[in-house]
């Protein structure tokens, strides 16, 4: 259902990413300002054309792999390339099939609660998140463009051959192949001439768009994680003022006016000093008012001298602010938990596929790496594949790890503000928060594994182990 969604919340923050994804051909049809039938149709046609081209070229590469599967080296190299670009095809399909889930995750932060005392902190961390997300996007875009450029450059070095197994003598021969970035079967002859140039142009386009498709989706995932982490930082930052606010309700504190200072810039009325109230002189006993002055929820009356229940003489408004601050904190934390759960549900399966394919790719690359015998095109391309694949895994592992660390450090933040001086209410709040935050929030790949630096270390260790074993077998 393509409804016109007003850009707010996460969508506004991620708009450059979304626009790039739409340009790369993902089936992302929401979040356009113009939703007329004609432009919608054009966009669908655009995405479909991209999808068809990408899948067709991918199939051509697979056909090439099947054609020349006799010789081991050629087969391995082609399998690695096919697996490498399987990520793009899978991510394209995954997004197309799961777009509702993505829209839901993007819409989760559309309505967020707010509290007048904490808006400044909220804005600051939101801005931090935005800066980091933009920086990540630029970085990954740069890496993609650089990879494509270096791939195309590397095509012009070395011999443009493929390996054939001579069936009689069982030794490897080379036969000339078209000097193209990717080895693929085309129905036309691409050795030279206009067809060669056409195929080359097609392949450059294909390289750029397929890498962009895969990387932009990963960037979106990591941007969500950055946002969640910055929200957790915000919650940690407001823990201390929150404790003091809560303590001011039933423990005498010398500087309670300071705590409410932020609110005075928001509210138009001046926050009155308790001493200034000359009503106090008139309405000094509760008896004069009885039940009628009791606000909803059994709030304290603040006219009159500080009562035992209200040692700091807070006004009704201040008391409401203090009580609602805890509510704000808890609701915001629950919102973050919802966001993380939604991220995990949306992207978990994609991560699982990514890790499966990457594991196989890295095993084959370890084998290829044992055949490196000098500084040549083969070495550069193998090392390039290796670095890129490991880099992709590292990319989401590092952000997953940060989420785990941030969410488990909320407990330490709660513990480090002086809870022992606070009120019973403050202590209970901190205690319950700590109980909940003992279990860290993490993203799992469809519950098979947790995305963290441990995952990356085990992948790296596995590659090195295979490499060592294979070298010994040679």
> Residue numbers of the site for other proteins (CB under 8 A)?
411-412, 415-416, 419-420, 427, 430-431, 434-435, 438, 453, 457, 468, 471-472, 474
What kind and span of H or E run contains 164? strand 161-165
Distance (Å, whole) CA 451 – CA 399: 8
Distance (Å, whole) CA 241 – CA 417: 9
Q: What angle do CA 181, 186, 187 make, to 5 degrees?
A: 165
Nearer of residues 386 and 426 to other proteins, judged by Cβ = 426
CB of 474 to other proteins, least distance (A): 8
Closest CA to 118 of 3, 234, 228: 234
Nearer of residues 125 and 456 to other proteins, judged by Cβ = 456
How many CB atoms within 10 Å of residue 371? Answer: 14
Nearer of residues 18 and 433 to other proteins, judged by Cβ = 433
Nearer of residues 88 and 452 to other proteins, judged by Cβ = 452
In contact, 206 and 49? CB cutoff 8 Å: no
In contact, 249 and 314? CB cutoff 8 Å: yes
CB of 470 to other proteins, least distance (A): 10
Distance (Å, whole) CA 20 – CA 18: 5
Nearer of residues 12 and 442 to other proteins, judged by Cβ = 442
CB of 36 to other proteins, least distance (A): 52
Q: Return the structure tokens found at 22.
A: 């739409």
Question: Which residues are 172's β-sheet partners?
Answer: 165
CB of 179 to other proteins, least distance (A): 31
Q: Return the structure tokens found at 128.
A: 């931090």
In contact, 365 and 80? CB cutoff 8 Å: yes
Please enumerate in sequence order all residues whose Cβ is within 8 A of that of 203, keeping only pairs 6 or more positions apart, or say none: 57, 180, 181, 182, 184
Nearer of residues 284 and 431 to other proteins, judged by Cβ = 431
List alpha helices for 2-118, DSSP H.
9-13, 15-24, 37-67, 72-107
Distance (Å, whole) CA 240 – CA 418: 8
CA distance to 40, 57, 96, 115, per residue, from 1 (Å): 12, 30, 13, 34
Name the region of 242 (left: φ>0; alpha: ψ -120 to 50; beta: rest). Answer: alpha
CA distance to 98, 114, 173, 314, 319, per residue, from 329 (Å): 32, 9, 70, 21, 16
Nearer of residues 40 and 434 to other proteins, judged by Cβ = 434
**Dihedral of alpha carbons 124, 125, 129, 132, sign:** positive
CB of 416 to other proteins, least distance (A): 5
In contact, 88 and 210? CB cutoff 8 Å: yes
Nearer of residues 357 and 453 to other proteins, judged by Cβ = 453
Q: Exposed, middle or buried, 73 (CB in 10 Å: 0-12/13-18/19+)?
A: middle
CB of 19 to other proteins, least distance (A): 35
In contact, 262 and 120? CB cutoff 8 Å: yes
CB of 121 to other proteins, least distance (A): 21
CB of 427 to other proteins, least distance (A): 7
CB of 422 to other proteins, least distance (A): 11
Nearer of residues 39 and 431 to other proteins, judged by Cβ = 431
CB of 419 to other proteins, least distance (A): 7
Nearer of residues 63 and 464 to other proteins, judged by Cβ = 464
CB of 249 to other proteins, least distance (A): 18
Nearer of residues 186 and 419 to other proteins, judged by Cβ = 419
């Amino acid at each position: 259902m393509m409804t016109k969604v007003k850009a707010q919340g996460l969508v506004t923050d991620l708009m450059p990413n979304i626009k790039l994804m739409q340009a790369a051909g993902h089936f992302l049809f929401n979040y356009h300002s113009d939703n007329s039938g004609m432009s919608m149709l054009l966009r669908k046609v655009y995405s479909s054309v991209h999808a068809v081209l990408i899948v067709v070229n991918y199939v051509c590469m697979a056909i090439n792999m099947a054609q020349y599967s006799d010789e081991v080296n050629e087969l391995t190299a082609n399998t690695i390339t096919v697996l490498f670009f399987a990520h793009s095809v899978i991510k394209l399909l995954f997004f197309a099939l799961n777009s509702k889930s993505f829209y839901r995750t993007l819409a989760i932060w559309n309505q967020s609660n707010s509290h007048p005392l904490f808006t400044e902190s909220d804005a600051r961390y939101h801005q931090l998140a935005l800066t980091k997300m933009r920086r990540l996007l630029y970085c990954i875009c740069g890496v993609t463009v650089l990879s494509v450029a270096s791939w195309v450059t590397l095509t012009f070095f070395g011999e443009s051959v493929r390996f054939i197994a001579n069936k009689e003598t069982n030794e490897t021969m080379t036969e000339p192949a078209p000097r193209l970035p990717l080895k693929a079967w085309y129905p036309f002859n691409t050795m030279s001439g206009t067809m060669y140039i056409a195929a080359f142009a097609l392949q450059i386009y294909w390289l750029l768009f397929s890498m962009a498709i895969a990387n932009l989706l990963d960037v979106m995932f990591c941007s969500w994680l950055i946002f969640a982490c910055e929200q957790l930082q915000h919650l940690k930052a407001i823990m201390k003022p929150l404790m003091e606010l809560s303590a001011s309700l039933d423990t005498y504190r010398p500087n309670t006016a300071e705590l409410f200072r932020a609110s005075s810039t928001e509210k138009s009325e001046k926050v009155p000093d308790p001493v200034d109230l000359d009503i106090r002189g008139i309405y000094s006993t509760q008896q004069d008012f009885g039940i009628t002055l009791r606000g909803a929820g059994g709030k304290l009356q603040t006219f009159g001298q500080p009562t035992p229940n209200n040692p700091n003489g807070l006004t009704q408004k201040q008391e409401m602010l203090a009580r609602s601050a805890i509510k704000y904190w808890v609701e915001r934390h629950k919102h973050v938990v919802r966001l993380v759960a939604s991220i995990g549900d949306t992207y978990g399966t994609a991560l699982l596929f990514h890790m499966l394919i990457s594991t196989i790719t890295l095993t084959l690359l370890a084998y290829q790496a044992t055949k490196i015998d000098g500084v040549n095109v083969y070495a550069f391309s193998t090392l390039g594949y290796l670095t890129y694949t490991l880099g992709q895994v590292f990319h989401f592992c590092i952000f997953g790890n940060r989420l785990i660390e941030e969410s488990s450090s909320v407990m330490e933040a709660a513990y480090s503000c002086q809870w022992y001086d606070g009120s019973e209410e403050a202590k209970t709040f901190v205690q319950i928060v700590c109980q909940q935050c003992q279990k860290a929030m993490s993203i799992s790949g469809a519950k098979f594994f947790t995305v963290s630096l441990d995952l990356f270390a085990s992948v790296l260790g596995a590659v090195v182990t295979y490499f060592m074993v294979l070298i010994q077998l040679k």
